[in-house]
Structure 1
Amino acid sequence: MECACFSSRQSLPTVFAVGLISKGQGTVCNKLSLNEDLVAFWAPFLLLHLGGPDTITAFSLEDNELWIRHAFGLVSQVVAVVYVLSQSLANDFLIPSILLIIAGTIKYFERTRALYLACLDNFKNKMLPKPDAGPNYAQLMEEYTAKETAQVPVQIVIEPEPEKDLPVIPDLDEVETDERNILDDVEIVEQGYKFFKTFKGLIVDLMFSFHERNESRNFFFERTSNEAFKVMEVELNFMYDVLYTKMDVVPTKFAYFRRLLCSLLIGASFGLFASHYKHKIHTPDSAITSILLGGAVVLDFVSLYKLLLSDWTIVLRERAKPFISKVRKRLRLFQKRGRWSKSISQHSLISYCLKEKERLKCFEKVIHFFGLKEFVDEIRYKETKTVKHDLKKFIFSELRAKAVCAKDSKTAKEIYSVRGDWVLSQYTCRYPSIVSSVSEVVEYDESLLLWHIATELCYFKKKDKNNLNAGANQEMDLNREFCKLLSEYMLYLLVMRPTMMSAVAGIGKIRFRDTCEEAKKFFRKGKSISKTAILTALMTTVQNCFEKKKKCSCRSQSQSEEEKRRVACEKLLAVNTVVRPIEVKGDRSKSVLFDACMLAKDLEKLNDQKRWEIMSKVWVELLSYAASHCRANTHAQQLSKGGELVTFVWLLMAHFGLGEHFRIEAGHARAKLIVGK
């Protein structure tokens, strides 16, 4: 998803410029030593600018709600430009000015129309199906009553709508290794557009039928994780286009004609200016006008080029598909534009507390005074890591396995609401603190913080040598890394993207701040011991490196940070937690620091392989719970910022039928009156 970089507010200087020209024509122009005819020519050029670039119409969803303001601006600015031109009808630039007025009006109209269609109310109304009263119940019952009154034997027989036999669901390993049904780029685009047409209703909370659910499930059951994510990338790109660009107003032949006409008009205007009128004005004015017109021509050509080779042209212009496909393949080296950043942000509570206690108090007062604390925290403490294929495959396999179990809507809704308890029930965990940490009694944000800290404590504990084969060790290491990535990603969403977690976060911010305060207080207490432990760890590491004949004369900053986190985790685990913290401290403070230590100690009682397997699956459930309970328009809002992994999980759950949107479970019944003899 391309990042939006254009706001409707940026058109205000252009509006002001058109008004200034119309007001000061003949007076201001002379003061600037400019030709009045040239100023009249600039007015429609500014109108062309008001149309904005084709790749963006809105910076956020709220901008789409202002389409009425843009409609008023369209009328008023066209009138103003026509008025400016009417003041000097005998000027030398009349023809190119008229051409630019037509092109500018078309572009401005397209932008206003795109904003109107992307307004969520209009977006929803456009998608609503026709009202459906269903079979004529009153007529059927009248006939039944009449037969019954006449003492004619009669009964009503209900024949449910026939359903196709459920397909045999292939094993995921078979699908991943089968190379016969791999989708090419064009097929991925076509499938992405097909599901976009169906599931774009998720944005406005529409409901779907069991036919749509079955069709989507059957497709994704037969796809590899890599193909599934590629299809969803295309699907989310189409969603981005209809919400933030003009692409929703170009699905017809007439729209393509409008685009071509605008390009021809702008090109003709530039040609007329260059060949006939350039010599009639001063050199600086001529150069400026040539640059402005040349830039308009280049930008319009680029927009037309991107449109003709876009995904929309592939799915809407059947005849042009083979040619466009070949061109796109040849230009692949020049079009390495990712549909998604394929990265996730990371935030660690323990790392944050260790750095916070080292920050100068005067600096903290300054950033608090200017309201920049959250901004500075995100710059300083946020890290970004790549979402590798192994993680996507793991998430896909976990949701796929749950979708296999969800054979009806009731089971699907149960799975939709799990947040770790489903996994623990499968493994029959015997430790009450582990089970209770994800139960409904504990709020979601508390579960997330507990598992984040526990994951950190378990991750940085010194690993024991395992008597496992290479394959088992590799799987355990992968699960361990999955836990760390998802743990720090979910904390990032909770703390730095609270709008995405608002539906499930509860008092997450308060609980996070209290936990951080207790952690900083604990780390300050053992500051001198901490330095000694860190120095010992560093000396041991250097000695080991020397034995292996590696150059370890200095340690990088990241390695030093890891050692600090490792020592901090060991100190936390060394605290005796026989008594629950709430019994000693009360519940005024919402800190969960030592509750998480208790959870980590119970998790450590499991063997390494089982522990990381359970924890990784719990994290997928915590992620999917947040994804499915986040507001749909928040997911849509995030598309303008490049997209998030949690949005892909939300969409994947919908494709697997895991959600509350599938409320048409049987369709229309077929009722018949059977008259007995």
Structure 2
Amino acid sequence: MEIFIVAKKLWMKLNLRGMIVVSLSLQVALIFLAPIRKRSSRRGIILLTWSAYLVADWIADYAFGLISKAQITAGTSNSEAAAYADLLAFWAPFLLLHLGGPDTITAFVLEDNELWRRHLLRLGVAGYVFYQSLTSNKLIGPTILMFIGGLIKYIERTYALWLGSFSKFPDSLLASDDAGPNYAKLMEEYSSKKEANIPASIKMTPEPEMESPGDEAKSRKAKGPTTLDDREVIKEAFNYFSTYKGLLVDLIFSFRQRNETMKFFRSRTFEDAFRVIETELNFFYDVLYTKAAVIHYLTGYIFRAISICSVIIAFALFHVLDKHGFHEYDIRITYALLHGAIGLEFVALSMLICSDWTIAFLGRYEEYRIGKTVIEFLVKLKSKSSSMPIFYSRWSKSIFQYNLIDSQLRRLPKWIEKPLHHISLKEFFNDLKSGRQEPYTDELGKLIFDVLIQMSYAVGDSDSIKKMCATRGKWALEKKEDCKDLLSFVSEVDYGESLLLWHIATELCYNKDEDTNFYSKTRKKTSKILSDYMLYLMIKQPNMMSTVAGIGQIRFRDTCAEMHKFNSEKFFAGSKTMESVCQSLLVVPTDVKPADVKGDRSKSVLFDACILAKELDKFEETKWEIVSEVWVELLAYAAIHCRPYNHAQQLSKGGELLTLIWLLTVHLGLSKQFQIVEGHARAKLLVEK
């Protein structure tokens, strides 16, 4: 029996010390690992970060319980046990420091922000452990200092979660109440003047008119787009973030804001426009998933200085303290905790100093020589580090791909597929063998930007904006000659059907056509990337397409079934390849519409897409120009109609091209959230003499 008691005590000691060391290790991992998740879409990194994020809090909570239990036991024992209890009380604030977490992550997903109330409960546990150690504790000095540092870090995290919660976020963005002119008083005065037969009238004093889009277009054509340096990119991105962060909660904006933003982005190159967008989205990410909204202000800097000083002074006090009565390995663990705390503080401080937030904050003092010098130094420091994209890129620049025909060619044998289907692993294995990524390229960015710029110049009032936001290929076809036969494939079908039609038709044309000139080759490649990307969103990210896809999933399954049936019954000379399958599909006679033969029970669009591909073949010179511009419209339509909340969710998963396009369409005036026609216009009562 005594052996079990000794083993239990030994386990308690090793258990607690192990938890303390593991907790410190997880904090070190998180401070470096968390920023990578906004720059990489690799599932392994996301899974590793998620595991560390969850386990870190669990271990800290568990260690708190062990310390509390050990203190009660030690308080009734000998002096050696009492010394151990003092050390445990000193360890408790380190756990509070760990629960405060690194600056690089407060929430793993947006839903974590809504749990800020739970984090308040942990303060009670930490306070209780601290209270137990107040009497006759020889480490009371460093313990109090560490508790101050841990308390600041923990409050920072809780406050950041509160600010990032969607229950609080809208309140922080709403402008002050504006009742407008005093209507009752104005009308009383107006009526009294009329009754006294005094000529009077009410006149609105409007805002100054902005430069018209036509004048701006002429100005841009004459001067040409200007290039931004890194400092200007951060400055402009922060300004637009401050203006448009209400996008996340569907706030509305004025046409004056739209005109100012359009003027800026229309005068940019596509590279600079995307650089500003990427940086702006990083500010969005920081507000929702990190402590940036708390620490990057004057009060945040002050409290961070207090926290760092508390930890350093606590280290100094413990170092000079008489450590008689403490076990050697306990002293080593304590030094490891202190060194770890100081190291983490200085790593966080270096990240804080080199962040975009600091550069934007110092921009207020740019007119002073010292401010300008510091900004230039920080910008150069960041630019030199750009050779390591996994640590300094602003998003993954990866575009996921999914191809319908390819997925059917790679299907598993039936004898394997059926058992996997019963244990819900079929989709998992399909993702492993068919999932792929393409890198974001300048050619793709230029195509998207050029088409959206043209669409931007075609809008003016709110009605034209609504019309352009609703187009999904029609505008691109209507501005081309002899494209009337293609209009039915975008305007007479729903979005999900249109997407599948153009996806299959693009694949058929892609595998049939030979590469010709550089322009057609580039458009062909970008069309293929956008086609596979949009199908990936509809099938693998349905939350991003839920408002536009309709019955897309059903139609996709029926089309896959018909494609599989065609592959199973069709005779192929040699092995089945993408080229041979596409060629076989194109030779099927399609004089009669599939619906007239099969009815509408099956929602498959396989051979309707073949008809579209044959129609596209009639445009030998302009085919890929037409296809690419239709895909940009389909992409923009999905981006505009995707909920902002879903866009925000993607920021912590390496980013999504669709999210960049969403913000770009807003800045080019292609958004339904521009609804305030007049700004600060005011009414005046004019009395004629």
Fold similarity call, TM over 0.5: yes
* 2:589 partner letter: N
Q: Deviations over 1:284-304 (max 9, x none)?
A: 333333323322221111001
Asked if 1:351 is matched to 2:351, the reply is no
Report what 1:664 is aligned to. 676
- Tell me the distance in 2 between the aligned counterparts of 1:509 and 1:164: 46
Equivalent residue runs for 1:399-414 within 5 Å: 399-414=452-467
Asked if 1:77 is matched to 2:125, the reply is yes
Report what 1:209 is aligned to. 254
**Runs (5+) with no aligned partner, structure 2:** 1-34, 39-48
Q: Deviations over 1:413-444 (max 9, x none)?
A: 21111100111111144553x211111x4111
Report what 2:317 is aligned to. 272
Equivalent residue runs for 1:469-484 within 5 Å: 473-484=517-528
Q: Quick check: 1:22–1:83 contact (8 Å CA) kept in 2?
A: no
- Tell me the distance in 2 between the aligned counterparts of 1:345 and 1:452: 15
Asked if 1:606 is matched to 2:602, the reply is no
| 1:277 Cα deviation from its structure 2 partner | 5.3
Distance 1:391 1:282, change over 3 A: same
Q: Deviations over 1:13-50 (max 9, x none)?
A: 31222123213325389899993332222212111111
Q: Quick check: 1:454–1:599 contact (8 Å CA) kept in 2?
A: yes
Q: Quick check: 2:146–2:310 contact (8 Å CA) kept in 1?
A: yes
| 1:407 Cα deviation from its structure 2 partner | 2.6
**Runs (5+) with no aligned partner, structure 1:** 467-472, 535-562
Q: Quick check: 1:309–1:324 contact (8 Å CA) kept in 2?
A: no
Match of 1:143 among 168, 171, 189: 189
Match of 2:509 among 458, 481, 487: 458
* 1:418 partner letter: T
Q: Quick check: 2:477–2:484 contact (8 Å CA) kept in 1?
A: no
Q: Deviations over 1:575-629 (max 9, x none)?
A: 111111112222221111111111111111221x211111100000000000000
- Secondary structure (helix, strand or coil) at the match of 1:437 reads helix
Report what 1:186 is aligned to. 231
Greater displacement, 244-253 / 275-284: 275-284
Distance 1:18 1:577, change over 3 A: same
Q: Deviations over 1:492-526 (max 9, x none)?
A: 11111111111111111111111111101110112
| 1:210 Cα deviation from its structure 2 partner | 1.8
- Tell me the distance in 1 between the aligned counterparts of 2:319 and 2:480: 77
Q: Deviations over 1:297-321 (max 9, x none)?
A: 2111100110011111111133545
Q: Deviations over 1:349-388 (max 9, x none)?
A: 11000001xx133433443344333333322211111111
Report what 1:424 is aligned to. 477
| 1:79 Cα deviation from its structure 2 partner | 1.9
Asked if 1:45 is matched to 2:94, the reply is yes
* 1:567 partner letter: S
Q: Quick check: 1:344–1:644 contact (8 Å CA) kept in 2?
A: yes
- Tell me the distance in 2 between the aligned counterparts of 1:313 and 1:65: 27
Report what 1:559 is aligned to. none
Report what 1:557 is aligned to. none
Equivalent residue runs for 1:270-309 within 5 Å: 270-276=315-321, 281-309=326-354
Asked if 1:312 is matched to 2:312, the reply is no
Q: Considering only aligned residues, what root-mean-square deviation do their CA atoms show, in Å? A: 2.5
Distance 1:96 1:365, change over 3 A: farther
Asked if 1:244 is matched to 2:297, the reply is no
| 1:173 Cα deviation from its structure 2 partner | 9.4
Q: What TM-score results when the alignment is normalised by the length of structure 2? A: 0.86
Q: Quick check: 2:89–2:130 contact (8 Å CA) kept in 1?
A: no
| 1:172 Cα deviation from its structure 2 partner | 11
Report what 1:616 is aligned to. 628
- Secondary structure (helix, strand or coil) at the match of 1:3 reads helix
Report what 1:15 is aligned to. 61
Asked if 1:510 is matched to 2:522, the reply is no
| 1:185 Cα deviation from its structure 2 partner | 1.0
| 1:461 Cα deviation from its structure 2 partner | 0.5
Report what 2:544 is aligned to. 500
| 1:188 Cα deviation from its structure 2 partner | 0.8
Report what 1:256 is aligned to. 301
Report what 2:589 is aligned to. 576
Report what 1:644 is aligned to. 656
Q: Deviations over 1:168-226 (max 9, x none)?
A: 33579969976xx4221111111000000001110000111122111111111111111
- Tell me the distance in 2 between the aligned counterparts of 1:430 and 1:164: 36
- Secondary structure (helix, strand or coil) at the match of 1:223 reads coil
* 1:151 partner letter: N
- Tell me the distance in 1 between the aligned counterparts of 2:306 and 2:612: 67
- Secondary structure (helix, strand or coil) at the match of 1:478 reads helix
- Tell me the distance in 2 between the aligned counterparts of 1:143 and 1:172: 46
Report what 1:555 is aligned to. none
| 1:272 Cα deviation from its structure 2 partner | 3.4
| 1:658 Cα deviation from its structure 2 partner | 0.8
* 2:314 partner letter: S
- Tell me the distance in 1 between the aligned counterparts of 2:320 and 2:433: 56
- Tell me the distance in 2 between the aligned counterparts of 1:341 and 1:185: 19
- Tell me the distance in 2 between the aligned counterparts of 1:507 and 1:28: 65
Distance 1:155 1:281, change over 3 A: closer
Q: Quick check: 2:106–2:291 contact (8 Å CA) kept in 1?
A: yes
Greater displacement, 27-36 / 653-662: 27-36
- Tell me the distance in 1 between the aligned counterparts of 2:311 and 2:149: 7
Report what 1:388 is aligned to. 441
Asked if 1:342 is matched to 2:397, the reply is yes
- Tell me the distance in 2 between the aligned counterparts of 1:321 and 1:11: 41
Distance 1:171 1:340, change over 3 A: farther
Distance 1:656 1:277, change over 3 A: farther
Q: Quick check: 2:478–2:484 contact (8 Å CA) kept in 1?
A: no
| 1:155 Cα deviation from its structure 2 partner | 3.7
Report what 2:488 is aligned to. 436
Q: Quick check: 2:74–2:84 contact (8 Å CA) kept in 1?
A: no
- Secondary structure (helix, strand or coil) at the match of 1:345 reads strand
- Tell me the distance in 2 between the aligned counterparts of 1:72 and 1:253: 28
- Secondary structure (helix, strand or coil) at the match of 1:590 reads coil
- Tell me the distance in 2 between the aligned counterparts of 1:219 and 1:351: 42
Distance 1:324 1:264, change over 3 A: farther
| 1:347 Cα deviation from its structure 2 partner | 0.8
| 1:73 Cα deviation from its structure 2 partner | 2.5
| 1:2 Cα deviation from its structure 2 partner | 4.3
- Secondary structure (helix, strand or coil) at the match of 2:438 reads strand
- Tell me the distance in 2 between the aligned counterparts of 1:647 and 1:138: 46
Identity of aligned residues (%): 47
Across the two proteins, how many residue pairs are aligned to each other? 629
- Tell me the distance in 2 between the aligned counterparts of 1:35 and 1:238: 45
| 1:672 Cα deviation from its structure 2 partner | 4.0
- Secondary structure (helix, strand or coil) at the match of 2:487 reads helix
- Tell me the distance in 2 between the aligned counterparts of 1:442 and 1:172: 40
| 1:279 Cα deviation from its structure 2 partner | 6.8
* 2:548 partner letter: V
Q: Quick check: 1:399–1:653 contact (8 Å CA) kept in 2?
A: yes
- Tell me the distance in 1 between the aligned counterparts of 2:308 and 2:540: 44
- Tell me the distance in 1 between the aligned counterparts of 2:151 and 2:174: 31
- Secondary structure (helix, strand or coil) at the match of 2:512 reads coil
Report what 2:5 is aligned to. none
Report what 1:595 is aligned to. 608
Report what 2:169 is aligned to. 123
* 1:11 partner letter: D
- Tell me the distance in 2 between the aligned counterparts of 1:360 and 1:282: 64
- Tell me the distance in 2 between the aligned counterparts of 1:474 and 1:635: 34
* 1:165 partner letter: E
Greater displacement, 630-639 / 578-587: 578-587
Q: What TM-score results when the alignment is normalised by the length of structure 1? A: 0.88
